[in-house]
Structure 1
Amino acid sequence: MKQLIFFILILFSLQVVEAQEKYLDSLYKVEPVNTEVYAEKEGEKLVIDLYRPAGVQEKTPLIVFMHGGGFSGGSPKNPQEVKFAKIAASKGYTVGLISYRLKRKETGFGCDYIASGKIETFQMAAEDFMDAVNFMHKNAEKFKIDKDKIIVGGSSAGAEAVLNAVYNPDLMFDNSEKYSDIEISAVFSLAGAIVDARYLGKEQAVPGIFFHGTDDNLVPYATAPHHYCENSKPGYLILDGSKTIVEKLKELDSSFLFYSFKDARHEISGMPFEDLPEVFSFMKRVIFEKNKIQSVVYK
């Protein structure tokens, strides 16, 4: 009888393992964080903290994530994002959390800071971000990543930089050809916006995952002034938020997953741990299985 029970338990365990799926379930332990310098600018070393599934020898998809903080604070050591990186790595992804130049430490980023300065800030942050992605792309063999499966993401200010880099490259870079060999598979944005959705064309229509509150008081949910500044203020700058970007992606027949939180404000820029299973499911179905998904979830 004991042998029979033992055999049944073994069989059940094997069935459970087989039912688990890479990129959806936590199958791996996570290696200790590995910090690399991806660039040095203005005397500052910019780093990427890499989290990788332990024991995996084949190439893995890559997620590069950019923290928020109004371009004046924040860190790749943010506990929420470190937790996210470890969750993703346990599913089979390599995850890079990056630092970047925080150009608004002294000036702030509100209505009293000039709009042209805001655009310049987006441009510098977008450049730092793409330089980090480029570093990983060039060192794909060293870090065992799949160059054809690169997901990029960010929160708040980080989301603004990432979205502008992907969807508005001609507005962000003097020479966008510098990054032309990098193909982005998907974007993951927490309360982000871009300068102008009209410049988002078919070539830039990368599938996107968006989280945004309808009453976000800092980054517009649809199309509105950044920080809702009055038009008489120096910092008056119209931005296109998640809703407007999603409408453009729908028009361009691209995939998206949009979580719209009724009456929520900028707290939606926090990591949505409760909804991460659906995020990873979307990435697997769209990136790996080549499905087209256009989904809006109202909360």
Structure 2
Amino acid sequence: MKHLFIIIFIFSYFWSSAQNIKTYTYAIKGLDTLKMDVYTPENIKEADSLPVVVWMHGGGFSGGSRAGKDETNIANFATSKNYIGISISYRLLRKGAKTGFGCKCSKKNKLFTFNQGVLDFLDATQFIYDNSDRLNVDTSKIIAAGSSAGAEIILHTVFMKRFFLSTETAYENINYAAAISFSGAILNSDDITTDNAIPTVLFHGTEDTTVPFKTAPHHNCQPNKTGFMMLDGSHTIAEKLKELETPYYFNIVKGGHHDVANVHINDLDDIFYFLDKTVKKNEVIQITKYTSPKPTNY
């Protein structure tokens, strides 16, 4: 046991010392000060311009943190692959709400929450654009990523941005090179077109009743519930990307539930291999992989 502890300590030390972390405020909205943690490889040179993974945590728009376990794991792993890793906070508009974000939350409030989340993610991206030299970021290689609520937001941002914007010119300079979604969905996959289709990583459990795997009601709400709202899940999105001959990596967790939103270290090699091939080398890869649910103590 003593030797195991030493091995884990050494591994953790070298991984944590392989990057630098700085925190920036990217927006202040009312009482919310929105920050981002920027993870940079320790050996980065001043003139370097690296691809960046911008991560949005989950939590049902009422919880979660930019410094959670999944968030730090993926940001640290990104630096080990010579990417910048960024984890952002955003407004948790359903925090303390009696209706939560399920079937008692009205469709109107759900759409408003999506809308504001998209604006927060765009504001974070705009900050990255405006400070790309200081952050050593290649703005042509920004990868939008998230889990659960965060995945819903980043998918709506990359594929349905115009649906949520009040003017055509707002954030018109912002584009994304790829997307990573753990248990996410969008309102309408028909909004994915040849103009906005990008390489996409999708993880989803086939038995997810919170965010649908295919096309189904959000939170499995019945049509008579105020929160009834149809969403297109990962399976529907992957079918659309396949039709458009756009790269995708779709990990189908057979029998998996919404906990597939959790990020596991052993999946990250495959994700970054896909990003290296599609974002850095512009290769067209379409992969569907079937896996089993991982143990809760994984």
For the criterion TM > 0.5, the same-fold answer is yes
2:252 matches 1:264: no
Structure 1 residue 256 displacement after superposition: 0.4
Partners of 1:225 and 1:238 within 8 A in 2: yes
Partners of 1:169 and 1:176 within 8 A in 2: no
CA distance in 2, matches of 1:87, 1:263: 27
Larger radius of gyration: 1
2:143 matches 1:143: no
**Residue 45 of structure 1, aligned match among 9, 33, 39:** 33
Paired residue type of 1:292 = V
Partner of 1:36: 24
2:63 matches 1:73: yes
Partners of 1:30 and 1:51 within 8 A in 2: no
Classify 1:56/1:28 alpha carbon distance in 2 versus 1 (closer, same or farther; 3 Å).
farther
Partners of 1:27 and 1:92 within 8 A in 2: no
SS of the residue aligned with 1:179? coil
SS of the residue aligned with 1:168? helix
Between 1:77-86 and 1:109-118, the stretch displaced more is: 77-86
Deviations 1:243-273 (A, max 9, x none): 0011111111111000001111001000032
Paired residue type of 1:56 = I
SS of the residue aligned with 1:97? strand
2:57 matches 1:88: no
> 1:56-205 alignment to 2 at 5 Å?
56-57=44-45, 58-107=48-97, 108-205=100-197
CA distance in 2, matches of 1:27, 1:295: 29
CA distance in 2, matches of 1:60, 1:88: 11
Structure 1 residue 33 displacement after superposition: 1.6
Partners of 1:151 and 1:186 within 8 A in 2: yes
CA distance in 1, matches of 2:217, 2:71: 28
Tell me, which stretches of 5 or more residues in structure 2 are unaligned? 1-13, 292-298
CA distance in 2, matches of 1:67, 1:192: 12
Deviations 1:190-219 (A, max 9, x none): 000001111221111111000000000200
Structure 1 residue 39 displacement after superposition: 0.3
Moved over 6 A (4+): none
Partners of 1:185 and 1:207 within 8 A in 2: yes
Deviations 1:219-241 (A, max 9, x none): 00010000000000000000000
Partner of 1:21: none
SS of the residue aligned with 1:258? strand
Between 1:159-168 and 1:170-179, the stretch displaced more is: 170-179
Aligned pair count? 274
Structure 1 residue 28 displacement after superposition: 9.9
Structure 1 residue 274 displacement after superposition: 1.5
Give the alignment's Cα RMSD to 1 decimal: 1.5
> 1:231-270 alignment to 2 at 5 Å?
231-270=223-262
Between 1:154-163 and 1:168-177, the stretch displaced more is: 168-177
Tell me, which stretches of 5 or more residues in structure 1 are unaligned? 1-25
CA distance in 1, matches of 2:138, 2:148: 27
SS of the residue aligned with 2:125? helix
Structure 1 residue 43 displacement after superposition: 2.3
Structure 1 residue 30 displacement after superposition: 3.0
Paired residue type of 2:35 = V
Paired residue type of 2:243 = E
Paired residue type of 1:99 = S
Structure 1 residue 177 displacement after superposition: 3.1
Partner of 1:286: 278
Deviations 1:53-78 (A, max 9, x none): 01211111111000000000111010
Paired residue type of 1:94 = I
Partners of 1:29 and 1:53 within 8 A in 2: no
Partners of 1:29 and 1:90 within 8 A in 2: no
CA distance in 2, matches of 1:168, 1:251: 18
Query: TM-score, normalised to structure 2's length?
Result: 0.89
